[in-house]
Structure 1
Amino acid sequence: MKFKFVLLRKSNNLTFKRSFIKMDMINRENKYKTYLRLFLMVLLISIPVFLVKAQNNDSKPLEKIWVSPQQEKIIISSSSQIAEDKTEFLSIQEAIKTLDFENSTEAKPNFGYTSSSYWCRFKIENTASVNQIRWLEIQYPALDSVWLYEVDSAQNIIQVRLLGDKMPYNKREIKDADFLFVVDLGARKTKTYYMRFRTQGTMTFPLVLWQPQAFSEQTANDRFGFGIYYGIIVVMIFYNLFIFFSLKDRAYLYYVLTIASIALFQLAFNGLGFQYLWGNFYPFNDIAVPFSITFFSFISLLFARQFLHLEESLPKIDKMVLFFVALIIMELFLTFILPYKVMIKVSSITGIVATTLLFYMGVMSYRKGYKSALYFLIAWSLFWMGILCSIFKGFGLLSTNFITTYAIQIGSALEVILLSLGLADRINVLKSQLAKKTIAEKNQKIENEIKQRYLIESQNQKLEQLVAERTADLEQKTIELQSQNQKVTDSLKYAKRIQEAILPPKQELDAILGEHFVFFKPKDIVSGDFYWISEHKEEQKTVIAAVDCTGHGVPGAFMSIIGNNLLNQIINEKQLFYPSEILEELHKGVRTILKQDYESSSNILSTSRDGMDIALCVINRKENTLEFAGANRPLWIVKNGGFEEIKGDRKAIGGWQNKGEKREFTTHSIDLNGEMNVYLSSDGYVDQFGGDGQISKKFMSKNFKKLLVDMNTKDKTAHNLENQRSTLEEVMEKWKGNEPQIDDVLVVGFAVSKE
C-alpha cells in the first residue's frame, strides 16, 4: 500500500486514486484475488507512461538560444516553441502542464483573427563571462496584453511582467511604439521564459532580442522613414487645404479628409499615435483603427463622386455609391458601440468593398473619356493592393514581411501623390474647357459684330443709292449719310480693336520668338491679312503662320476670323503639328464653312470662291528642324549672307476645286544648324504700285528679295530685326509715293537657331 501511495503522489490524478481505492476493496475479497493480480500487473506497466505524459506533454526538447556580445539582433520567434490556448484563460502552471508546444519555423508567426490566446516559450543562454542587458521586442503594437514569465529549472515562477495596448503608455519599461522588455542575462547563465499573448485583432508576435544600442539605431532609421511618410501626408494636407480655401472646390476638402483618415489609421496601426498622441487614453486604441478604416471608406467615396463628376457622368453608379455611403454612416456610429473584434472585421470588409468600388468607378469614368480618371485609377489601384496585402495578412493568408507590414504606407504614399497630380490635372482640364468656352463665345461675338457691320455697310450702300434717286432732298440726305458713315466708321474702328485683340500680342511674340518683327499695315480699317502663333512646350514645337485672306476690309476681316478659328481648332485642339496636314485640314474647314462642297437641287456647286493663301512653318525643337508648307506663298531664309527661297504649293486654301480632286500640300524640312533669319509675308508688299518714274509699277518679288538680303548684309544696323521693320516701312512709303495702298501688307521676320 505504501507503493500505491507513492504512485498516487506522483500522478496527482484523481482517476487513478479512485481506481486504487476500488482495488483495495477487491483485495479484501478473496474471491477476486486472481483478477487483482492481473490488474495490478497491467497498471504497474501503464502508470509510468501516464506519469511521463502528465509531467511533460511535449516530446520535443526546447533548444537553447545562444547569446554572445557580438550579436546585435537575434530572431527569437523562429527558435521558440508556440502553443494555442483555446480556453483563453490558462494560468502559467496549467499552460506548462497541459499545452502541447510546437517548434516555430517562422520569424514572424501570424495566426490571423482568432479568439484563442497563444503561448510562446524559449530558453536563452549567455555565452559571455559578463552580464548582458538585452531588450526583447514584440514587433506588433496592437496586442491587448503581453505577459512575460521567467521560470527556473523546476518551472517555478521567478518574475512576471505585463504590457499591452490596454495599459497606459507611461507604465511601459521602455518608451517605444512597440512593446519592449528588459532582459538581464547573468554571466554564463541560462534563463527560460514563457510569454502569453491575447488580442481581439490580428494574432502575430514577431520576437526580436536586441542590444540596446543596435535597437536605438534601428529605431532611428525606422523613424526617418516614417518621418518622410508623414511629411508627405502633412504637406499634402496643408497644400490641398490651401487650394480648397482658394477655389472652394469640395473635392479638395474631401481629399484632405481622406488623407487625414489614412494618417489616423497609420498612427493607430503602427503604435506611433499611442506613443505620441493618446498614450494615456488607451481606450481610444479600440476605436482608432476600425473608425479610421470606416471613415476612410465614407469620405473617399464622397471624394470620388466629386472628382469624377459621377452625378452627371454615371448617375446609376452615383445612386449605388450614395446607398453604400448611407450604410457606412450607420457603421461609423457602431464603431463606438460594438467590440473591437467585431468592428475590425466589419470595417476591413467595408474597406475592401469601398476600394473595389473606387476602382470600378475609375475604370468606368476613364472609359467614358474622362482623362483625369487615369490618375485616380492608378492611385486607388496601388492603395487597393496595399490594403489587400494588409487585410490578407490580418486574416493569416499572407505571411508577415516588410511588404505586407508596410503595404498600406507604401500604397497610401503613392496614392496621395498621384491623386494630388490628378487634382491638378483636373484643374487644368476645367481651365481648358473654360478657356475654350470663353474663346468660342468671344469669337461668336466678334462674328456677330462683323456680320452686323457688314449689314450696316450694305445699308449704307442702299442709302447712297436712295440719295442719288432723290435729288430734291440731296442736302438733307447728305447730312443723314454723313451721320451714318460716321457710325459705320466708328463701328469699323471698333471691329479693328476686336481684330487686334485676336492677333497675338507683342508680349506673347517676344516670349515665344525672341528677336522678331511684324510689319502689319491694313489697307482699310480692318484687314484680311493676319498672323498667328502657338507654342506647345510639351511637344517642343512652335507654329507661326502669315495668312492672306480673300479681299480686304470687312469681308477680308470676316475671312480672317474664320481662318483664325480653324487654326485654333486644328493645332490647339486637334494637336496637329505637321505643316502639310495643317493646310489640308484648313482647306477642308474653309470649304465646309463656306459650303463650297454644297450641291443644290440643280447639281450646281456653291458659287463661293473665297479662300486664303498661307505660309506656315513649325519650329521643331525635338528634331532641331524648321518645317514649312505654303499655299501660294513662299518662305525666305537669309543665313550667313546667303539667300534661300522655299516655294509653297501653287494651290489655295478653299475656293474652286475639281470634283474628285484631293487637295494635298508639301512639307519642307530645314535643319537648324546655324543662326538664320526667316521671313513670311502676304502679297501686299510686292504688289504695291509706285516707283521713281512716270509709269507706276509693282514693287515685285525680285526687289523684295534683294531688300531682304541687303538688310542682312550691307546695312550693319539693319541686322537687328526691329530695325528691319523700320527699313521695310520706309522703303514702302518711299516706293508708294502718292499712290494709294492697294492691299493689306503683312511681313513677319524672326531669328531662329539650333538649341
Structure 2
Amino acid sequence: MLKTLLKAIVFFIVLVSTVSLHAQKTVALNETSKEHFFVNKEIVCLEDPSNKLTINEIKSSNYANKFIANKDYYPKNYNRSSAYWYRVKVTFTKDLGHSAIIEFFDQITDHIEAYLPNENGDYVKSLAGADLNFSDRSFHHKNFEFLINNVKKGEYYYYFRVKSKDKVNVIIVFRTVERFIGYALSEYIMFGFFYGMIVIFSFHNLLMFLAVKRRQYLFYILYILSVGLYEMATDGVAFQYLWPNHPIWNEYAYGVSLFFLSSFGLIFTKELLHVKIKAPTINIIINVLLVIRLLFFLTCLFYNNDWFKYKYLEFIPLSLCFFTGIYIWWKKKYGPARFFVLGYFFLFTGFIIKIVHILGWSRLFIGNVVGYYSLSFGFLLEMVFLSFAIGDQVRILKRKKENARKQIIKQMQVNAELKDNINKDLEIKVEERTKEVQQKSKELLQKNVTIEHQNEELLSKNTLLEQQAEEISRMNILLEKDNINLKTNIEKVTDARVNATELDFDEFSLKYPDRDTCYKFLSELKWENGYACIKCANTSYCNGKVPFNRRCTKCAYEESVLHQTIFENNRIPINKAFYLVYLMYNHKGAISSHKLSEKLGIRQSTCWTYASKIKKVMEERKKDLKGVGKSGWRKLVLDK
C-alpha cells in the first residue's frame, strides 16, 4: 500500500513538472529566421538569493517547476543582491545551416553566464559582462554575445545566469551571425557619424574660441565633449576603445560624464544667454544648483558610487536650462535664445522618450530603435541648434559692430569737417597773432636796449656790494670769536659764583635751568670713570628710554641716571632738589626747613624730609667734605 502511494506521488510530481515545462512558450526558428527578441512568456526566470545554485541543480527536475513566467516585456533583476536564472525554449524546425548567436543588450550588466547545449546534449558555459576585461569577450563588440554551439533540428533549453549591481533590462536576442554583422556595422557607422559630429563641432568652436576669445565657445566645447563621453560610456564604446582592461571605470564613467555634462550645460547657458545681466535671479539659482550638483557628485564619488544610478536627477538642470532659454526668449526678446530653446526642446523630447523606453513602453508608440537612440538623436539635434544659436549671436554682434563702424565713420566725417573749419579759424587767428607778436617784438627790442644799460649800472653796484659783504663777513668772524670767549667767561664766572657765594634760586637756575641740564650733570658725574652695567659688568651701552639713561647692549638692562644718587626716588623738581642740596651744604645743615620752604616754594614738611636726608649724608661724609670749599655740595650727590 505504501509503495503504491509513493509511486502515485512521484507520478504526480513528474506530471506537474511536465505541465510546468510545457507552460513556457516555445519559440520556433528555421533557416529564414534572422532575428528574434525573447519577450513576455518566452522567458521564465528564477531568483537565487543564495547566489550558489549551479547549472546541474537548475536543470534538474527539482527546479524545473520553480521557474516563473516573466511578468514584464523584458525581465529585470529587481533584487540586485540576488542572482537570476533565465530560461528560453527554442525549437529548430530544420537545420539552420549557418552560425547563430545569443546577444544581451544592456551594457551595464556586470556578470552573465550562458549555458548552451552542444551536439552531445551537454551544456557549455560561456562568460561575459561589464566586470570582465574587454579582451576576454568571445566577440569584440559593445554588447554581450554567445555563440550557439548546436543549430541542428530539435528542441533546446538555453539557461542564463545574470548578476548585476545595477538594475538592468535582460534583453535576450537570437541572431544569425550574418544578421549580427550587418546590424553591428550599421550601428558602428551611426556611432562614427555621431562622434564625428562631436569632433567637428568641437574643432569648429575651438577655432572660434581662438579667433574671438569668447568663453562661451570654450564651455560649449566642454559641454559637447561631456555629451560624447556620456554616450560612449552608456553605449559601451568607451569600454571597448578607451579603457578595455579597466572594467572598474565603468562604474564611474557615466556618473562623472553626467556631472560634467550638466555643469558645463548650465555654465554654457549662463554665458550664451547673458543670464547674469538679463535674469539675475535665475543666475543665482543656477549658481546654487551648480554647488549642489558638485556636492552630490563628490558624495557619490567618495562615499557611495551606487548613487550614480540616480540619473533621473539630471532632469532638474535640463529643465532649468530649458526654462531659462524660454524666459529670456519670451520675456527679454533675445533672438539667439529661440535656437537655444529649440535645441533643448529636442533634447527634452529625447530624454522623455528615453525614459519611456527604459520603462518598456516605447515599443507601443515609436519602436525600440527610436526609443533606444532617442537621447543620442536629441543630443545631436541640440548640438546643431545650439550652433545656430551661437551663430545667431555672432550675427547680432557683427551687426552691432557694423552699425558701430558706420557711426564711427560718420563721426569721423563730422570731425574732419570740424577740423577744417577750426583750421581756417586758426589760420586767421595765427595771422593776427603774428602781427601782434611782430609789433611786440619791436617794443621788446627797445626795452632790451634799456635793460642792458641798467644791467651795466647794476653790475658796477654789485661789485661794490660784494666788497662790502666781504668786509662784513670778516667782522662777523671776529665777533663770533668774541662771543665764544664771552660765553666761556660767563660760564666760568657763574661756576665761580656758585662755588664762592650763596646764590638765590634765580641765579642758581641760570646754571641748572631744567631737568635735562641736571640729568646731564648727573650723567657726567656718575660715569666720569666710564660705564659698567651693574647686572653683567658690560661696558657697552646705548641710550635708554629716558634722556641720559644708559641701556646695556648685552643684557638690555636700563640704568637710570638717578640710580645710586641722593636724588633717587625724588618727588620734587630736580633743579629745586639741586638747589636744596646746594643751600644745605653752604649753611652746613644749619638752615631751617621754614627758610628752605620760603626760598624753594615747597611745603615745609617736604623740605624738612629732604633736609634731614641731606644732613644725614653730610654727617656720614664729614671727613670727605673737609677742605673742599664751596663746590663740595657736588660730592653729596653720589651714594657711596
TM-score range, shorter chain: 0.5 to 0.7
1:247–1:261: structure 2 CA closer, same or farther, 3 Å change rule? same
- Counterpart of 1:401 in structure 2: which amino acid? N
Q: Corresponding residue for 1:580?
A: none
Deviations 1:329-388 (A, max 9, x none): 22332343355542111xx23311111011011111212121111111111111122123
SS in 2 for 1:203: coil
- Counterpart of 1:351 in structure 2: which amino acid? E
Task: Work out whether residues 287 and 335 of structure 1, in 8 Å CA contact, stay in contact via their aligned partners in 2.
Answer: no
SS in 2 for 1:391: helix
Deviations 1:534-593 (A, max 9, x none): xxxxxxxxxxxxxxxxxxxxxxxxxxxxxxxxxxxxxxxxxxxxxxxxxxxxxxxxxxxx
- Counterpart of 2:375 in structure 1: which amino acid? I
Task: Work out whether residues 376 and 418 of structure 1, in 8 Å CA contact, stay in contact via their aligned partners in 2.
Answer: yes
Could you tell me how far apart the structure 2 residues matched to 1:423 and 1:328 are? Answer: 26
| 2:101 counterpart of 1:135 | yes
Could you tell me how far apart the structure 2 residues matched to 1:295 and 1:113 are? Answer: 30
Aligned match for 2:333, one of 369, 380, 402: 369
Task: Work out whether residues 58 and 101 of structure 1, in 8 Å CA contact, stay in contact via their aligned partners in 2.
Answer: no
Percent identity over paired residues:
19
Q: Corresponding residue for 1:606?
A: none
Q: CA shift at 1:149, angstroms?
A: 2.4
Deviations 1:184-212 (A, max 9, x none): 22532322112233334452233222221
Aligned match for 2:92, one of 122, 126, 129: 126
Could you tell me how far apart the structure 2 residues matched to 1:457 and 1:127 are? Answer: 109
Counting only pairs closer than 5 Å after superposition, residues 421-436 of structure 1 correspond to structure 2 as 421-436=388-403
Higher helix share: 2
1:57–1:191: structure 2 CA closer, same or farther, 3 Å change rule? closer
In structure 1, runs of 5+ residues without a counterpart are: 12-47, 468-472, 481-755
Q: Corresponding residue for 2:174?
A: 209
**Which range is displaced more, 376-385 or 71-80?**
71-80
Could you tell me how far apart the structure 1 residues matched to 2:379 and 2:96 are? Answer: 47
Aligned match for 2:236, one of 261, 271, 294: 271
SS in 2 for 1:181: strand
Aligned match for 2:153, one of 172, 188, 202: 188
| 2:194 counterpart of 1:229 | yes
- Matched residues, number: 429
Counting only pairs closer than 5 Å after superposition, residues 502-581 of structure 1 correspond to structure 2 as none
Deviations 1:310-330 (A, max 9, x none): 111111111110111111222
Task: Work out whether residues 265 and 292 of structure 1, in 8 Å CA contact, stay in contact via their aligned partners in 2.
Answer: yes
| 2:346 counterpart of 1:382 | yes
Task: Work out whether residues 69 and 128 of structure 1, in 8 Å CA contact, stay in contact via their aligned partners in 2.
Answer: yes
Q: Corresponding residue for 1:80?
A: 42
Deviations 1:5-34 (A, max 9, x none): 9479x67xxxxxxxxxxxxxxxxxxxxxxx
What TM-score do you get using the length of structure 1 for normalisation?
A: 0.51
| 2:372 counterpart of 1:408 | no
Q: CA shift at 1:254, angstroms?
A: 0.9
- Counterpart of 2:340 in structure 1: which amino acid? F
- Counterpart of 2:43 in structure 1: which amino acid? Q
Aligned match for 1:349, one of 290, 312, 325: 312
Task: Work out whether residues 148 and 194 of structure 1, in 8 Å CA contact, stay in contact via their aligned partners in 2.
Answer: yes
In structure 2, runs of 5+ residues without a counterpart are: 440-640
Q: CA shift at 1:445, angstroms?
A: 4.7
Deviations 1:702-735 (A, max 9, x none): xxxxxxxxxxxxxxxxxxxxxxxxxxxxxxxxxx
Could you tell me how far apart the structure 2 residues matched to 1:279 and 1:431 are? Answer: 47
Q: Corresponding residue for 1:172?
A: 137
SS in 1 for 2:24: coil
Could you tell me how far apart the structure 1 residues matched to 2:213 and 2:436 are? Answer: 60
Could you tell me how far apart the structure 2 residues matched to 1:394 and 1:130 are? Answer: 33
Deviations 1:650-705 (A, max 9, x none): xxxxxxxxxxxxxxxxxxxxxxxxxxxxxxxxxxxxxxxxxxxxxxxxxxxxxxxx
Q: CA shift at 1:429, angstroms?
A: 1.6
Task: Work out whether residues 268 and 285 of structure 1, in 8 Å CA contact, stay in contact via their aligned partners in 2.
Answer: yes
- Counterpart of 1:148 in structure 2: which amino acid? A
1:390–1:97: structure 2 CA closer, same or farther, 3 Å change rule? same
Could you tell me how far apart the structure 2 residues matched to 1:174 and 1:379 are? Answer: 37
1:117–1:392: structure 2 CA closer, same or farther, 3 Å change rule? farther
Q: Corresponding residue for 2:385?
A: 418
- Counterpart of 2:347 in structure 1: which amino acid? F
Q: CA shift at 1:296, angstroms?
A: 0.4
Could you tell me how far apart the structure 1 residues matched to 2:236 and 2:199 are? Answer: 18
- Counterpart of 1:358 in structure 2: which amino acid? C
- Counterpart of 2:146 in structure 1: which amino acid? F
Deviations 1:732-751 (A, max 9, x none): xxxxxxxxxxxxxxxxxxxx
Q: CA shift at 1:166, angstroms?
A: 0.9
| 2:29 counterpart of 1:67 | yes
Could you tell me how far apart the structure 2 residues matched to 1:50 and 1:190 are? Answer: 23
1:103–1:474: structure 2 CA closer, same or farther, 3 Å change rule? closer
Could you tell me how far apart the structure 2 residues matched to 1:318 and 1:112 are? Answer: 42
Deviations 1:376-432 (A, max 9, x none): 111111112212322343355645711110011111111112212222222222222
Aligned match for 2:276, one of 311, 322, 328: 311
Q: Is the radius of gyration larger for structure 1 or structure 2?
A: 2
What TM-score do you get using the length of structure 2 for normalisation?
A: 0.60
| 2:322 counterpart of 1:359 | yes
Q: Corresponding residue for 1:722?
A: none
- Counterpart of 2:136 in structure 1: which amino acid? K
Task: Work out whether residues 227 and 257 of structure 2, in 8 Å CA contact, stay in contact via their aligned partners in 1.
Answer: yes
- Counterpart of 1:426 in structure 2: which amino acid? Q
Could you tell me how far apart the structure 2 residues matched to 1:263 and 1:286 are? Answer: 17
- Counterpart of 2:379 in structure 1: which amino acid? S
Could you tell me how far apart the structure 1 residues matched to 2:301 and 2:40 are? Answer: 38
1:246–1:207: structure 2 CA closer, same or farther, 3 Å change rule? same
Deviations 1:608-661 (A, max 9, x none): xxxxxxxxxxxxxxxxxxxxxxxxxxxxxxxxxxxxxxxxxxxxxxxxxxxxxx
1:290–1:393: structure 2 CA closer, same or farther, 3 Å change rule? farther
Could you tell me how far apart the structure 2 residues matched to 1:329 and 1:338 are? Answer: 14
Could you tell me how far apart the structure 1 residues matched to 2:229 and 2:52 are? Answer: 35
Could you tell me how far apart the structure 1 residues matched to 2:115 and 2:391 are? Answer: 57
Task: Work out whether residues 201 and 340 of structure 1, in 8 Å CA contact, stay in contact via their aligned partners in 2.
Answer: no
Name the Cα RMSD after superposition. Answer: 3.7
| 2:111 counterpart of 1:148 | no
1:105–1:203: structure 2 CA closer, same or farther, 3 Å change rule? closer
